[in-house]
Chains A and B, each alone.
Chain A
């Protein structure tokens, strides 16, 4: 067979798979979002924006992304740099750090719920130490700040590892010669990090940021298990409209919003962290 055709034949099944199970539902979802009673309209979007949880969901979602993603990147960079300087046992440390990756969102959410609930581990310890006189609520609608903090901590614990893995892979690809050259010219470790390592890590950081931001916009199980109704986000609202209210149009409208925001974020990262043609 023609050697030029074979590669296309080999990728054809995966393309067909994606087209059938991704592209078709996507088009259907968009169509559903812009239809009410079979007529094209923006009625679903009006209902969505008019809903009492919409503003909260938007604010909460962006709040989480803006807090969580930069923190995760900083943590992952710091952890990757520390890992570089380990002489032995690197693999074991890396392996331990990535344990949370193997745990499902929901399980992670439930673990943190068990820690932070009224009679959870945190309150038990604080009461034993005498810091608190009785159980303190952290996750109720009366304590929005600690509720947000709890979700941020849980998400940091669960998903920093994915950024770390990408960054570590990127760091290992940087040739040692660059660092050695910088040392020869008398660069401080900080200069070496900001002038040599970071620019060379840009493609990895871009990948990590896109992945993390899109996933953070879709955050659901952790938020649901820790925050429940007290902390609506875009995806949990889509879920509620789909399954509780059974209004598929409004659910689809939420899905379209999430997709639009994810797409916009991806494009912004691609543009902001592009590698100039001269450096390629």
Chain B
């Protein structure tokens, strides 16, 4: 099967390459983001509309991106000018030495108000700016206003702790008789990101290294007790906007893009706020996409012009408006902007500027094993929380799987785990 699919992608690649060779003078922007057809069309017809030149907006599966760049490097036929991808997807291109330093554009981006933390990420630990932050998202909490009266007196909704969230949810359950806290733990849900980017960092200050630590044991015990107030249908929820809109859930955690419909349809009914904090801080996972120029790009000047265009405040607002990814630059949101988008943007800003914010990156360097890495966390969750097994024993067993996986991939630690020399290892 693997061979067949490899053959398939090779054929596809050959097709694309020949199309490129036969092609036009257009700039090619290859992106792993905004792949769904509606979003891609918005990109082509709305966001890129005011750009001077002509751009071919081409999408690519994340796993294929580095394969394609490598193939172009080896074949010596360059068709791609600009690559748009997530931070973790651009990293392999750095090891291929495929990206052009963009220090001049970096200065422009800083002047436009891109926060230093994001600019630093774009350097990958080198002296040069290897990508320019493009657009961002993260995971937020959304609550129905009906749930607000049950929030205990001392709690500030924008600075919640996991303990306060648990108290809140159980107060709601006590008063209404229903479990109205919800998580996207369905088959297509992003629950694993909650563990990797929020719960683990908040309680243990890391993800892989402290996987089986005592802090992790405490964390799972507390999360299992919080789960008593969680709607049992959570294991079927993929997008929290649906149960939020139907009223099955009053308080939810999810990726901003997956609650945005609820915020847009009923902005008066919902509030959006940062995810809770634990003993080690307010762990949160920024989803950062960047733009990079490929070495050997057919039109390097056009490429920098395109990046400059896409990071202008007005283009960034148009992006937020049409595809729900949020500006990285300082952009004054216009008064007529969709209220739902404003709610989302507000929650993102409060998350980023929280005093106790603790950045946790998407896993980096796992390649094809990303799914198995996620499974370690969802399996641990299933065993401890849903099947009620003892956290210690489960953590020991899952730590073995995680160790093997990290050794196989050789991926070094990423934030918030401390930097490692070899593969990131469980302590």
Which A positions have Cβ atoms within 8 angstroms of B?
25, 28-29, 32, 51-52, 118-119, 134, 137, 139-142, 224, 228-230, 240, 242, 244-248, 251-252
Contact = CB atoms under 8 A, between A and B. Distances in A.
Given A229-B235, A252-B1, A224 B187 contact: yes
A32 B63 CA distance: 20
Given A28-B1, A224-B187, A140 B375 contact: no
B233 interface: yes
B233 A140 contact: yes
- A-B pairs, 3 with minimum CB distance: A245-B371, A140-B232, A246-B371
A246 B368 contact: yes
A137 B178 CA distance: 12
Given A52-B383, A229-B187, A248 B236 contact: no
B308 interface: no
Given A141-B232, A246-B371, A229 B186 contact: yes
B2 A228 contact: no
Size bracket, chain B contacts: 20 to 34
Contact of B248 (A119, A229, A252): A119
B383 A29 contact: no
Contact of A245 (B187, B235, B375): B375
A232 to B, nearest CB: 10
Contact of A248 (B2, B63, B235): B2
Contacts, number: 63
Contacts of A32: 1-2
Nearest to A224: B187
Contacts of A51: 379
Interface of B: 1-4, 63, 178, 185-187, 232-233, 235-236, 246, 248, 368-372, 374-375, 379, 382-383, 386
A137 B233 contact: yes
Given A140-B236, A230-B235, A246-B368, A119 B1 contact: no
Given A28-B4, A118-B248, A141-B386, 8 more contacts: A139-B233, A141-B235, A142-B232, A229-B235, A245-B375, A246-B368, A246-B372, A251-B1
A134 B369 CA distance: 44
B247 to A, nearest CB: 9
Nearest to A143: B232
Contacts of B233: 118, 137, 139-140
Contacts of B63: 246
Contacts of A141: 232, 235, 386
A251 to B, nearest CB: 8
A118 B246 CA distance: 11
